[in-house]
Amino acid sequence: MRFWLGASFVDTGQFVELAKAAERCGFDTLTLSDHLFYADFATPYPYSRSGRPRWDARTHWPDVWVTIGAMAAVTTSLRFSPNVYIAPARDLFTVAKQVSTAAVLSQDRVTFGVGVGWCKEEFAGTGQDFHTRGRRLDEMLPVLRSLWAGETVTLDGLPALSISPTPAGRIPVYVGGDSEAALRRAARLGDGWIGNRIYTEEQLDPVLDTLRRHLDENGRTGPFDIIAPLAVLPDAGTYRHFAAKGVTGTMAAPWWLATPEEKARYGEGSLELKLATMERFAEEVIAKT
């Protein structure tokens, strides 16, 4: 079981120190989320009962690739992934160049966590069509792989083209989302899958069944990563149980489980609280799993 540090909602100024600590504590990957702006969204947020986002205008959403570049500069082994990057809200070449550059600067420590997104307003803001986002992502991913491999591609209306720099290694693509379409896309085009909510075992089992069915339908018999945020108390035995189900990684934000004493000592939301709870999680869970 590999542990990903879920760093959504973190103040931008804390990311560099969190990356150093994540590497020191044995986390495999640090992940951060992607949003372009905050507004009074008409589009319902699909992951809350109220349909309202769990954040407000004061919540930081730093640019994913700029932040990964900064964190890569102060680490040597920690990997980075968006959870997830809304690629179809951008044009193909913006995505290709940002991800490729981050992979080169990090020396192949980038995973491309990608999804179709839910927020219609963000697509309107970038001039991309919201309703065709799934089809366009399906079309983008093979072309992105070719460009990142240094190949020359031919696209309608453009001369044969390539990009530079490109990484030495292959950039893994993990598809996010647990809808039927997202699981089908992950099985067909991805190297792995990332869950988009925190799952109980009862919630996760049917998702895994559907994902396995699509993998079988696509003749996928090789390695395939499954990153599932789990609604369980941190315990090495519990994580081993999920590993037996095929879950290869999970996501944790140890400060969410800070004790009242830790909150009182360090201050809720502080960098010090995050570092203290990460170190405790590393000792009590990562080292024993």
Write down the pLDDT at residue 151. Answer: 98
- Please give the structure tokens belonging to residue 100: 């490729």
Write down the pLDDT at residue 116. Answer: 97
- Kindly tell me the number of DSSP H helices and DSSP E strands found in the chain: 10, 8
What three-state secondary structure class fits 279? helix
Please give the full DSSP string across 116-174, using - where no structure is assigned. --S-HHHHHHHT--STTHHHHHHHHHHHHHHHHTT--B--TTS-SB--S---SSPPPEE
Based on the domain organization, do 233 and 270 belong to the same domain? no
Does residue 185 contact residue 134 with C-beta atoms inside 8 Å?
A: yes
Based on the domain organization, do 221 and 186 belong to the same domain? yes
Burial class (CB in 10 A: 0-12, 13-18, 19+), 25: buried
Write down the pLDDT at residue 206. Answer: 97
pTM of this prediction exceeds 0.85: yes
Based on the domain organization, do 216 and 98 belong to the same domain? yes
Based on the domain organization, do 287 and 145 belong to the same domain? no
Based on the domain organization, do 24 and 131 belong to the same domain? yes
Based on the domain organization, do 168 and 181 belong to the same domain? yes
Based on the domain organization, do 12 and 119 belong to the same domain? yes
Write down the pLDDT at residue 54. Answer: 84
Domain CATH code at residue 42: 3.20.20.30
Domain that holds residue 155: 2-256
Based on the domain organization, do 146 and 288 belong to the same domain? no
Number of domains in the chain: 2
pLDDT tens-place values along the chain, 289 residues long: 999 999 999 999 999 999 999 999 999 999 999 999 999 898 988 888 888 888 899 999 999 999 999 999 999 999 999 999 999 999 999 999 999 999 999 999 999 999 999 999 999 999 999 999 999 999 999 999 999 999 999 999 999 999 999 999 999 999 999 999 999 999 999 999 999 999 999 999 999 999 999 999 999 999 999 999 999 988 888 999 999 999 999 999 999 999 999 999 999 999 999 999 999 999 999 999 8
Based on the domain organization, do 251 and 261 belong to the same domain? no
